[in-house]
Amino acid sequence: MKILLPLLLIFLLACSSPRAGQLDARRPDGSVPKVIPGMKLVWHDEFNEAGKPNPANWRYESGFERNEELQWYQSDNVNCKDGVLLIEARREAIPNPNYQAGSKNWKTNRPASEFTSASIQTRGLQQWQYGRFEIRARIDTTYGSWPAIWTLGNGPWPMAGEIDIMEFYQVKETPTILANFAWLGDQSSRKTKWNEKKLPLTHFTDKDKDWVKKFHTWRMDWTEESIQIFLDDELLNTQSLKESLNPDGSNPFLKPQFLLLNLAVGRNGGTPKASTSKIVYEVDYVRVYQRE
């Protein structure tokens, strides 16, 4: 028995640990970016240096930005730590410097924020037209959470186009993963044309009960003909670029786009419970490949 117990312990540890060369889905990927035949790595950020995100790549949004969300965006809520970009939404009251008593504008009628969070983007620093985009991230599915990986074109929305590589929020009180495309559908009404894909979170958690504890890889393959969005190699949505035309005939997806990573709170994410004090969003890396 004295001999068998150590052997049994070694066997159990071997079975419970990732095999050599196998990526641990619960930890950041510290390996170098993979080589993709026929493609060149043109830009990436691994977030391996502790501190603020590289200012050559990222700028910050500030204040109340969009969608009547609860959070006040600020740079204090994002840092690179332990090999990931860490965005934290915190229940925190920040005085609104633009507050106007009696205002009907949601950005100015709030004396203070309910939460703080962060949104970073590559606008004016990095942008791309076509290629393969890979983003490995772990999302917090707490009620009220609205994390996103998305791109925008340069110009007025929605005519400049939007690609939601990843969104997570509540759809009719159902936790949902989304992959979307948007452009201008009608000039006179300024109505947005949406190609949306909505998958309940249970689509993934039914296959893996620990899905929310793990990092996952979102991928966008963008060519002159189409854009495809994948999650862990599962195709979520496709947009033909023959069909993504604005009323004036322009096509936003035949022009460069920049990248945004943000964690919103509220609105489509739902109003957080009173007990929710923090929501965490982790991005392991962003990699952009293009054809050689």
Domain extent for 92: 44-291
- Predicted local confidence at residue 32, as pLDDT: 93
pLDDT, greater one: 98 or 2? 98
In this structure, of 3-12, 73-82, 92-101, 248-257, the range with the lowest mean pLDDT score is: 3-12
Q: CA–CA distance from 255 to each of 53, 111, 196 (Å)?
A: 26, 40, 21
Residue 124 has pLDDT above 50, yes or no: yes
**Would you call 167 a catalytic residue per the annotation?**
yes
Is residue 61 included in any domain, yes or no?
A: yes
Annotated active-site residue 224? The verdict is no
Is residue 1 one of the residues assigned to a domain?
no
The one catalytic residue in 68, 162, 173, 234 is: 162
Catalytic one of 69, 134, 167, 282: 167
Please state, in angstroms and as integers, the Cα–Cα distance from residue 13 to each residue in 4, 8, 25, 28, following that order.
Answer: 14, 9, 17, 21
Q: What is the CATH number of the domain that holds 246?
A: 2.60.120.200
Number of structural domains, the chain?
Answer: 1
Q: Would residue 38 count as lying in a domain?
A: no
Q: Tell me the pLDDT tens digit for each residue of 50-62.
A: 999 999 999 999 9
**What confidence score (pLDDT) does residue 167 get?**
98
Bridge partners of residue 176, in order along the sequence? 169, 200
CB 147 within 8 A of CB 281: yes
Rounded distance between C-alpha atoms, residue 30 and residue 27, angstroms: 9
CB atoms within 10 A of CB 100: 13
Tell me the whole-structure pTM to 2 decimals: 0.91
